[in-house]
Structure formats: C-alpha cells, structure tokens
Chain A
Amino acid sequence: MNNDAELNGNYAFTFSGITGNGSVSSVIATVGRFTADGAGNLTNGELETNGVGAGAALVAQSFYRDLLDRCRQSRCDDPEFFGQLGEVRLRDAGNGNARFIEFDAVGGARTVGSGTMEKADATAYSTSRIIGDYAFGAAGFDTANNRAAIEGRFTSNGTGVLANAAGDVDGYGTDYAMNFTAANYAVSDAATGRGTMSLAFTFGGTPTP
C-alpha cells in the first residue's frame, strides 16, 4: 500500500502459515473481513482462526473493539493493525488488493505465514448471490504436518444446494477421486459476508468426518 487511501472499503482476507517454536510447529489458518475508511482507520472487522491443539480449534473473534483501540493509537496500515494475526506487512497487488505476511516470529517461535486481502462486494453477501458454476482449491496440513489438498468444482443453485460436485483429494501423496454424497452452503451473515459450507464425500472408500 502506498498510502492510506488505497486501503478503503470492505475487504475479505485469508491467511495461512506455521506457528510454534524451535521444537514443535503446526499449521494455522485464518479467514475474515474488515472495513477500512481510506484514512488509516479500520471501522470494524472479524476473523476466524483454526489450528492444532487445545484452545486452537476454530475461534470466532470479533476484533472490532481491538481494532478500534489499536487504530486510535496508531495508523491502521502499520504492522499492528491485524492484532490477533501479529505484525504484518502489506504489499499492494493492484486494484486495491494486497498481499501480506506476518513477520513477527522471534527466535524460531510464533507464526510465519502469508495471505491476501481483496476488496469485497457487500452486495454479494447473500446465499442467492452465490450462483452458477464454481471451481475450488484448498490445501493445508494435518496434526502431524502431513500435506493435504483438495480441488474440484460444483454448481450452486443460489439456495444453498451445491450440485454436480466433483473433485480430487491429495491424501498425503496419493490422489483420490472425491465421491460426493452431499454438499451445501449458506451465507449466514448478510452484514459481513460470512458463511458456511459442508462437503460430504468419500475417497478411497473412506468417508469424511
């Protein structure tokens, strides 16, 4: 970001990385959204984090108050503005979007990761606006730091049903077809664009939990 005005409006963001210390580490990921006013202030925001270990399961955090407090104390485009993510640096990706990294690891401890934030269209914050054909891809690690990934596609009917779903899962180095038994979604919060999605499938004869 070259100046505060470039960070303006509604944004959605995603982040993934590794957290831990010199002897143990594990995967961590976050998705969320915020609103920036183009003058260095984040007027509201929220994020959800998932990770390994007790207390690291999905945590929904409205960091509205935290952001406001931080923004009153310093510019919101400085490395402090993400709070729970730790210190981040932004790199303009054009069109008001940005890539960012967390860089506050010290002595091999804390979190190292990267993500992207993109301008969000609040008029699309509804189940009915998610309609048509979609492709998806997601990757990460399990509790033993084994790599896994999925990719595929589905057709959304705009009412929460995902049809014609197909895909592949990389189960730690072996490719399997995803045989879908059910798939659905819902945009549960019209104010934030938050939603949930469930993909039920088998691969290699194994059903997903």
Chain B
Amino acid sequence: MNFVFYVVNSGKLFVMESDPVTTATPLLNGVVVQQQIPAGGFTNASLMATW
C-alpha cells in the first residue's frame, strides 16, 4: 500500500492511501502518531487515564 502524507509535527502525520481505489486497495486515510513505549513494555496499566 502506498500513502501520501503531510507532516503535522515530528510526532504526527496525516496519511492517505494513494493507490487507485479497487476492491483490493480500499481508500484508507488516518494518522501516524508518536508511540510512547513504557519502560518494561505495554501492559493493561498502560491504558490508565480519564477518556
């Protein structure tokens, strides 16, 4: 899959699939964001806040 993106900042990109749209290549768009990996890796406790 091929995408075009625009940089928001060094921790965020807006991405959109650039392939011709077919049944094998749906038109996807979304976001890439910096991932903060906790020391020791991800656990259930990594998801702990008010949402």
Do residues A14 and B29 form an inter-chain contact, with CB atoms below 8 A? Answer: yes
Count of A-B contacts with CB under 8 A?
175
Residues on B with C-beta less than 8 A from A201 are 1
B29 and A29: CB pair below 8 A?
yes
A208:B1 contact, CB within 8 angstroms: yes
Known contacts A133-B35, A197-B2; is A187 also within 8 Å of B27 by CB? no
Question: Across the interface, do B31 and A197 meet the contact criterion of CB distance under 8 Å?
Answer: no
CB–CB A136/B32 < 8 A: yes
Residue-wise interface mask of B (1-39) relative to A, using a CB-CB cutoff of 8 A (1 in contact, 0 not)? 111111111101111111111111111111111111100
Q: Does A89 contact B (CB under 8 A)?
A: no
- Tell me the interface secondary structure of chain A in the complex: strand
Stretch in contact with the other chain, from A67-75, A78-86, A144-152: A144-152
A195 touches B5 (CB 8 A): yes
Partner of B1, one of A12, A52, A58, A199: A199
The reply to whether B2 and A198 contact each other, CB–CB distance below 8 Å, is yes
Give the contact-size bracket for chain A. Answer: 35 or more
Say whether A197 contacts B3, CB under 8 Å. yes
Judged by a CB distance under 8 angstroms, whether A193 is at the interface is yes
**Least CB distance, B3 to chain A, in whole angstroms:** 4
**A209 lies within 8 A of B30 (CB):** no
Contacts A/B (CB < 8 Å), 30 sampled: A12-B7, A13-B14, A26-B21, A29-B27, A31-B4, A31-B14, A31-B29, A50-B16, A52-B27, A58-B4, A121-B7, A121-B10, A136-B30, A136-B33, A137-B31, A138-B28, A138-B30, A138-B31, A140-B17, A142-B22, A142-B26, A150-B30, A187-B7, A193-B6, A194-B5, A196-B2, A196-B3, A196-B5, A208-B25, A209-B22
- Assuming A144-B23, A201-B1, what are 10 further A-B pairs, CB within 8 angstroms? A13-B14, A31-B5, A50-B17, A121-B9, A124-B8, A137-B30, A146-B26, A153-B35, A197-B4, A208-B24
Q: Which residues of A contact B (CB under 8 A)?
A: 12-14, 16, 26-33, 48, 50-52, 56-58, 118-121, 124-125, 129-144, 146, 148-150, 153, 185, 187, 192-201, 208-209
